[in-house]
A and B are shown apart, each in its own frame.
Chain A
């Protein structure tokens, strides 16, 4: 294997990993965009998506597309419930209290998941077999292509949603200035509700498509959530293309770090780059300092 061949494989691995981070980062972005909340429970949405999918598809034997849609709806409902039960009753929300309460919610959800699904790891069925696809000297699994494809599709849908629908435009307005938005007749509370539902759905999709690659258990959400958050910040908090770019950047960085420098310190390398990005351009690669745009 020549060095160039290896490099190609590192980048390909990075893209696979990056697509996972990117779709998790998108969930953070949606909620941040309309509420400025960093939802630490986002990783748990991913976990719930994967676990529901396993139960419906493997234990109950529902066909894959049906299980997929039902899982997404289930986690969407949980997202909405978290907003109704936990977020909206807070009287004077501050950034910090919102961070802590989403952490509380994530601990709770994780605990319940442990109770329901136990602690074992489970393998999900890949969507279209496991025969690796060769790209020159490097190889990628079919499931990784699914992840990349679905992330891309989701991105297009989100773009259309935010740019061309009234709800989407309303959500953007809420992010820029909630009070002005409410004066214009936009129901801010409802927008927050929708964004939690949407983030739940996105998290679920992420969990479902990555479960065949990563295996699933109740504890998978934390690390994925942190990496997704990291990706969202690198790309620029609040920017949808930023989340995608940040996620892929993080994935490729980790993979190159592991391959070329040291696998033991690859996460540290990724976080050092994150700090450098923050120190040099705090708003991220694609973030704009003044007004936020999607």
Chain B
């Protein structure tokens, strides 16, 4: 009975993912401009976090008002390890992942015993504590003239590279070449193995690869046993627990997963912007992430991407209004919740369906 349904579902999902991949690949051919690519990268980064947050909020029904802290922890760990201690970016990102996972577990275990507003307050408190630590923490290293960190943040974070290896025999080679031809010329460095993501286009593809992988991962989580347990938990915790679902375990796992996603986004952010500062990971950012989930649509994977896109683009569009942009921003938020409480994706689809399939 269930099989055909499931198959159909998967086919449709493949179609969607395929369309997304095609769009991601094609967009740069139309938007050849670093500014647009930059905004698209930000959307990708936000989408990664929002996918995780949506697992937590939409599927497991738990509120987090402190997710920017995990984003920031990922970014800061990557930044500090690469700049102050000279780690390879990939290793730094993996350490960040481990670190954020542990923090999320430690915070999650006691927090997720709380419900509703108490959980909201606990996560908010955690976010504010992390923000204060970002603002106060300082690092000194022998190769730095002044201590790094504090309100000015960590700067000079290297571009993300996979391999940067130079045999240093290009000198000899170029010498030979000019000897032979009699013309001194710049020769491409043949004996250096560089895979560096040094421009926005490469980075765009990298970030969106991550976004799509995480999208598929999230969709698998939802359709697995864990996902069903989560939904049971969201509908009624009491019912779920009587059916033998270990609620606490599932809640904490989802919380940790969502923190890990945020950490990945954070590491990617650090190497993209090349600096991390406390102003980017405060209470406002946490709220913005929650708004993305709600605007995109709770318990909707595609809504996460959509929510991230809309809320990231909105300020760019609203710059026209100068100082009034914050008024309009508040207005739009209220209007969406009043008129499309299910989020933009659901809300719009439902309306269209309601009109044509009555």
Contacts and interface: CB of A to CB of B under 8 A. Distances in A.
Direct contact of A and B (CB under 8 A): yes
Interface of A: 32, 38, 86, 89-92, 95-97, 99-101, 103-112, 114-115, 222, 226, 229-230, 233, 237, 264-265, 267-268, 271-272, 274-275, 278-279, 282-283
Interface in B175-217: none
Interface string B111-124: 10111111011101
B324 A111 contact: yes
A100 B133 contact: no
Nearest to B121: A233
B132 A110 contact: no
Interface in B311-326: 323-324, 326
B302 interface: no
A286 to B, nearest CB: 15
B339 to A, nearest CB: 9
Given A95-B117, A278-B122, A282-B114, A268 B330 contact: no
Interface of B is mostly: helix
Contact of A268 (B115, B133, B334): B133
Given A97-B294, A282-B118, A104 B334 contact: yes
Contacts of A226: 124, 128, 283
A96 B327 contact: no
A33 B330 CA distance: 26
What are the 4 tightest A-B residue pairs by CB atom distance, in nearest-first order?
A: A108-B330, A104-B333, A111-B327, A107-B330
B329 A111 contact: yes
Given A230-B121, A274-B122, 8 more contacts: A95-B117, A96-B298, A99-B63, A99-B120, A104-B337, A264-B136, A265-B132, A282-B115
B334 A108 contact: yes
B290 interface: yes
Contacts, number: 123
A96 B57 contact: yes
Contacts of A264: 132, 136
Interface of B: 57, 63, 110-111, 113-118, 120-122, 124-126, 128-129, 132-133, 136, 283, 287, 290-291, 294, 298, 323-324, 326-331, 333-334, 337-338, 341
A178 B353 CA distance: 34
Interface of A is mostly: helix
Contacts of A114: 323, 326
B337 A101 contact: yes
A101 B334 contact: yes
A96 to B, nearest CB: 6
Contact of A89 (B283, B333, B338): B338
Contacts of A282: 113-115, 118
B122 A112 contact: no
Nearest to A280: B110
Given A115-B323, A226-B283, A107 B121 contact: no
Contacts of A278: 110-111, 114, 118, 121-122, 125
B125 A271 contact: yes
Contacts of B337: 90, 97, 100-101, 104
B274 to A, nearest CB: 27
Contacts of A90: 337-338, 341
A245 B48 CA distance: 41
A189 to B, nearest CB: 16
A6 to B, nearest CB: 24
A281 to B, nearest CB: 11
B136 A38 contact: no
Contact of B324 (A104, A105, A115): A115
A105 B57 contact: no
Nearest to B336: A104
Contact of B129 (A92, A109, A110, A272): A272
Contacts of B329: 107, 111
A105 B132 CA distance: 26
B241 to A, nearest CB: 18
A7 to B, nearest CB: 25
Contacts of A111: 324, 326-330
